[in-house]
Structure 1
Amino acid sequence: MKLSNLFLRLAVALALLGVGLGYFMGATHQFLLSPVHAHINLLGWVSMFLYGLFYRAAPDAAAGWLPKVHAALAILGLPVMMTGLTIQLLAVPSLMALVPPMMIAGPTLVVLGMVAFAAVVFRATDGRAVAA
């Protein structure tokens, strides 16, 4: 599957998840998971969709190992971070020991994914041919 399509499809799935969570919170008047809802919508729907649009607009940018690293980091980091944040916000006693490693690993993966994406964008827009 093309990298652009992977990101676009994942973005739409995450948009449905984020909107569904928002709908549930509104219907139940329980807004404890608002930070999860916001992050799923921003990092999931918006960022993933923008990644997909970039790779669609600059298909050569998807060549090589760096875009694959970007995808792996972005796609793995978000669910780790959202799971950790959900456990923390719900204060699930039996799972609280997982929160610190998840809230270190998840955001770190997301940030490294964004750094990789920045490198892809700069490489793809420097006027030279894409290689790597």
Structure 2
Amino acid sequence: MDRTRFFVRTAAIYALIGAFLGSHMAGGGGLELSAIHAHILVVGWLSLFAFAIYYKVFNIPKNSKLSIVHVWSSFIGVLGLTVGMWLYYTQPIDGMRTFNTIFFIVGGTVLLIAFVVFAIMAFVHGKFISEDA
């Protein structure tokens, strides 16, 4: 899998969703979804795009188990956090409050794990992170 392409394409989708949501809020005059909008743009667009740049700039081995865990936990965590946040704040289906809360918490926890793995990778694969060619 091309990690850079995967992250850039996924980030582009989140950027589009975040921009659309922001436009919708501005046009509708309501800011009820502003926390969701902000998280979609920050963790969905900015973080995933930053990860894409990381994999493009630094020669992190493609067979790195940390890298594989990082890519998938980032993807699942961002999706879980943003969808969970939307479910939690909007409660679109009656009687699902507990499920929505758990979905939100699990998504955020998986994303936290992705950031922990990223921090670990910065040290484990430190020899690949350099200005030297």
| TM-score (normalizing by structure 1) | 0.88
How far is 1:127 from its partner?
6.4
Higher relative helix content: 1
Aligned to 1:76: 76
1:90-132 CA-to-partner distances (Å, cap 9, x unmatched) read 133232121221122111000000011111122222469xxxx
Cα 1:121/1:61, change in 2 over 3 Å: farther
Per the alignment, do residues 38 and 121 of structure 1 end up closer, same or farther by CA in structure 2, a change over 3 Å counting? same
Letter in 1 for 2:73: L
Identity within the alignment, %: 26
Equivalent positions of 1:108-127 (< 5 A) are: 108-126=109-127
Unmatched segments (≥5 aa) in structure 1: none
Query: Counterpart of 2:112 in 1: which secondary structure?
Result: helix
Count of aligned pairs = 128
Instruction: Decide whether aligned partners of structure 1 residues 58 and 19 sit closer, same or farther in structure 2, where only a CA change above 3 A counts.
Output: same
Q: Deviations along 1:63-108, whole A, 9 cap, x unmatched?
A: 3111110111111112212222112211332321212211221110
Q: What are the residue-to-residue correspondences of 1:30-49 with 2, within 5 Å?
A: 30-49=30-49
Q: CA RMSD in A?
A: 1.7
* Secondary structure of the corresponding residue to residue 122 of structure 1: helix
Q: Deviating runs (4+, > 3 A) in structure 1?
A: none
Unaligned runs of 5+ in 2: none
Alignment of 1:1-132 (within 5 A): 1-92=1-92, 93-126=94-127
- What code does the residue aligned with 1:112 have? I
